[in-house]
A = this chain, B = another copy of it.
Amino acid sequence: MAEYPPSLERLFHELEKLPGIGPRTAQRLAFHMLKQPADASKALAQSLVEARTKLHPCKDCFNLTEEILCRICSMGTRDKTSLLVVEDPSDVVAFERTHEYHGLYHVLGGTLSPLEGRGPENLTLDALVARVKGRPTFKEIIVATDPTVEGDSTALYIQQLLKGTAVKVTRLARGLPSGGDVEYADESTLLKALEGRREL
């Protein structure tokens, strides 16, 4: 089989590194980009380098921002008694989409994972403790890490860290997802839904 030109091969290779992009999709994307006017691929390349250069963690909450403080931290109108702790900036986006949470955030940068070599020093846990202790406005810390083994142990770790303080540490509810089906729910979800049952 005839090989590809080197620059095309390199583009395939770089695209394949992205999550969820296999060799076939990488090829389709590459050929699509090459069909577009040169300006289009330059715009994509530029937006990529620019985002990577301009964005950095917010000084307070570690959400992505181009300024010193992110838009949420610099809003005067957010509820300063409540702090929602999430794994990644994309989780902040998910909560903002509900339009119902008006407090502040803290982005951990992942979860504790001994298997993948991520300890407390890899997360923004020191900053979280300093923030909670330094600012007595917080009444509740809602830990919204993923409902996984790593997410759960990270939540427990945070609870331990904040034990001496006056704030209440809570965790997101577990149960059936909206629109779900009892018949197809896994055992763990059903157990959590039972445990967490509430009076009507």
Task: Name A residues whose Cβ lies closer than 8 Å to a Cβ of B.
Answer: 1-8, 10-11, 13-15, 17-20, 25, 27-35, 38, 40-55, 64-67, 70-72, 75, 88-90, 93, 96-97, 99
Q: Tell me the minimal C-beta distance from A46 to chain B in angstroms.
A: 7
Q: Is there contact, CB below 8 Å, between A31 and B88?
A: yes
Complex Cα gap A13–B43 (Å): 10
Other-chain residue from B1, B55, B99 in contact with A96 (beta carbon distance below 8 A): B1
- Nearest B residue to A10 by beta-carbon distance? B47
Known contacts being A11-B47, A47-B11, is A28 close to B34, with CB within 8 Å?
no
The complex places the Cα of A154 from the Cα of B35 at a distance, in Å, of 20
Q: Are B14 and A43 in contact (CB under 8 A)?
A: yes
> Per a CB cutoff under 8 Å, which of B5, B47, B97 touches A55?
B5
